[in-house]
Amino acid sequence: MGKINFLSDMLCNRIAAGEVIDRPYSAVKELVENSIDAGATEIEICIERGGKDLIRITDNGCGIEKDDMRAAFMAHATSKISELEDIEHIKTLGFRGEALATIASISCVELISAVEGAEGNKVECDGDFVGKVFPAPSPKGTSISVRKFFFNTPVRYKFMKSDKKEEIDITNYIIRYILGYPDISFKYYVDGKLTLQSYGGGLEEAVTQVYGASVLPNCFKIKAERNDVKISGFISNQNYFKSNKTYQHVYLNGRHIENFAISGAINNAYSAYAMKRQYPFYVLFITVPEEMVDVNVHPNKADVRFTDNSLIYGSVYKIITTVLDGTVRAADFVVGDRSDQINNTAGAVSPKSSTVCAAEFVSSEKVYDKNFEGVVGIEQFEKKNVKTAQKPDLNKFELYEKPSETANAESDLPLYKYFSPREGDKAENSFILRSDSDDPILKSIEEDKKRQKYEQNKIIYNQYKYRGTLFETYLIYEISDEAYIIDQHAAHERLIYDGLIAKLEKRELLKQEMLVPFTFNVNPEERQFIDENINIICQMGFEIEPLALNAFRVNSMPADLPDLNLKNFFGELLSEIGELKKISLSNVLKDKIAQSACKHAVKGGDILTENERDKLFEMLGGNMGLKCPHGRPICVKLTKNEIEKMFKRKV
């Protein structure tokens, strides 16, 4: 007896659900795109419990004929293509004919539709069979209700996210459609509450509805063409950046996409102006000839393939850099009165060009070649070595971290000790550079060494004699055959820092009510992060509350940090949106505490009274092995033997 079975259409649809419809957001995506393809000018989306209980999409599109309503639930039934050649000229968002059949196979679906001049009709499907078509009075257009998502596939139901996270993912897609189809009016309801709305008034109105009125004044509106690549939309100017990449949207031939060639070109165009963890804002529409792109790569249709990546990259990069650099041609690319911005751009100084040497890095990790071949990025380094089929010489290279903005020499860079092949990757020439801080075991060992070093350098402070001050900055103490030179600023800075950190860890940071509350806008992913961590943020000394759907208000802040820049603080908190869960909120605050300690510590050149000097030395508790929060030593020890060697008394 044969062992090969022919699977039923229903079973095939359920299997396909793992790729075509994996979670509620993908069902919303497919159904909204059907409405757009149907020519709708008004689309309403309603969800309940993150789409698990209900997804309803209602539009005023062309509708479905009565005779086609049952066929719409059949696999690979579509009105958008009819023969092989049609795939080469796809202009609609959907074309596979898989979505509705797949949705119906794993949920309960009700379809109501009416075409112009005809009565409406209704048909239902519960995952096992498609019902009969019944009359149902309805205006022109289509309404599809999806209930009990994955009710008959419990294994997949278990892999759905929480209601809130599913809602956030759906909201992100609605934002894409509002921005990508600004001539369509959208209404989006979450659990009965109107959450987002646009009026079909154009791109300016759509951007304002989604991101607020403060964005557009900081953007260029562009319209340009190069090598048959047409680009239009909004890009942020050289001074306006966001803290993560969730404010970036690209539409290719009307379809929202993610493509490395395009995003790489844009980000590299901004690299001369963006600081670390800063990302440009853009909503761009790119149009290319059909023969230059293949959209039939994956069912999600977000991935596309170009026949010539370099042409796309070069065209996008050239247009964006022309606008940002303010060249003569920029006026041809910018729409409207942006002459002031262009003129300002021409004289703009790149943050990186204001520093020298090692500070001019593009990425956060660099390789420094001891043989003076230069300082290069890890990506460049990998490519160079892969091409030559050589592994790096372990004795030649050391890994450096990107310096602070004040760093002006290679000596300012913290040194890491080694690098190793990428774990789990057997490729002959595949490797990454890594630091000790990446390894928890080595990190623990290093911390133990530091503690031991501190103990070894600890002195009995009341046995030391004060011998004077150098340059009104360095305090000199002597005992027996040893002399200690203490940097008064670094020492005081460390003491302030330790005190504030102790309060933070004990949740003793006092709150200070603000005369004028600080407000900041967020997108759905950022709001989710704030909502999930609001208790931790409050424990850090803040009082924060939601102000609106896309905004929060800060009413109080840590009293011990009166100079804290809240805009920068929350910008850093929300940076690297894809890594938010890995960020320790207290570590972000510790960075700000270090800055505050530096501001409030005594400075080099300040003349201390005898009481101030003695109190500072006493507070150190004899711990001469400490470093300031930025890593500089607070003290240098010289022995009598070392001094006598300097004067050639000893050899």
242: helix, strand or coil? strand
Give the model's pLDDT for residue 154.
Answer: 79
For the stretch 209-217, contacts whose Cβ atoms lie closer than 8 Å and that sit 24 or more positions apart, written own/partner, are 209/178, 210/175, 210/178, 210/179, 211/247, 211/521, 211/523, 211/550, 212/521, 212/550, 214/521, 215/281
- The single-letter code of the amino acid at 544 is I
Query: Looking at residue 186, what is its pLDDT?
Result: 96
Q: How confident is the model at residue 598 (pLDDT cuts 50, 70, 90)?
A: confident
Highest mean pLDDT: which of 2-6, 51-55, 260-264, 503-507? Answer: 51-55
Tell me if residue 407 falls in helix, strand or coil: coil
Backbone torsions φ then ψ of 593, nearest 5 degrees: -65, -40
* Topology of domain 439-651, CATH: formyl-coa transferase, domain 3 (3.30.1540)
Q: What is the mean pLDDT of residues 174-199?
A: 94
Report the percent of the chain where pLDDT is more than 70.
Answer: 70
Label residue 45 left, alpha or beta by phi (over 0 means left) and psi (-120 to 50 means alpha): beta
Fold for the domain defined by 9-204? Heat Shock Protein 90 (3.30.565)
Question: Is-above-0.75 flag for pTM?
Answer: no
Say if residue 582's pLDDT is above 80.
no
The pLDDT of residue 555 is 92
Mean pLDDT, all residues of the chain: 75
CA distance 615 to 602: 13
CATH-assigned architecture of domain 214-346: 2-Layer Sandwich (3.30)
Per-domain boundaries in the chain:
9-204, 214-346, 357-438, 439-651
Most confident of 66-80, 231-245, 288-302, 509-523: 231-245
More confident residue, 473 or 395: 473
Share of the chain above pLDDT 90, in %: 26
Q: What is the pLDDT of residue 347?
A: 41
Least confident window among 57-71, 119-133, 387-401:
387-401
Q: Which residue has the higher pLDDT, 433 or 285?
A: 285
Q: What is the pLDDT of residue 376?
A: 39
Range scoring the smallest mean pLDDT among 34-38, 287-291, 594-598: 594-598
Mean pLDDT of 133-148: 92
The highest-confidence range among 88-102, 212-226, 299-313, 528-542, by mean pLDDT, is 212-226
C-alpha 610/C-alpha 475 separation (Å) is 11
In tens, the pLDDT along 372-425 reads: 333 334 444 444 443 333 443 433 333 333 333 333 333 333 333 333 333 333
Q: What is the DSSP letter of 388?
A: T
List phi, psi (to 5°) of 37.
-65, -25
| pLDDT tens per residue across span 242-268 | 888 889 999 998 889 888 889 999 999
- Calculate mean pLDDT across residues 312-338: 86
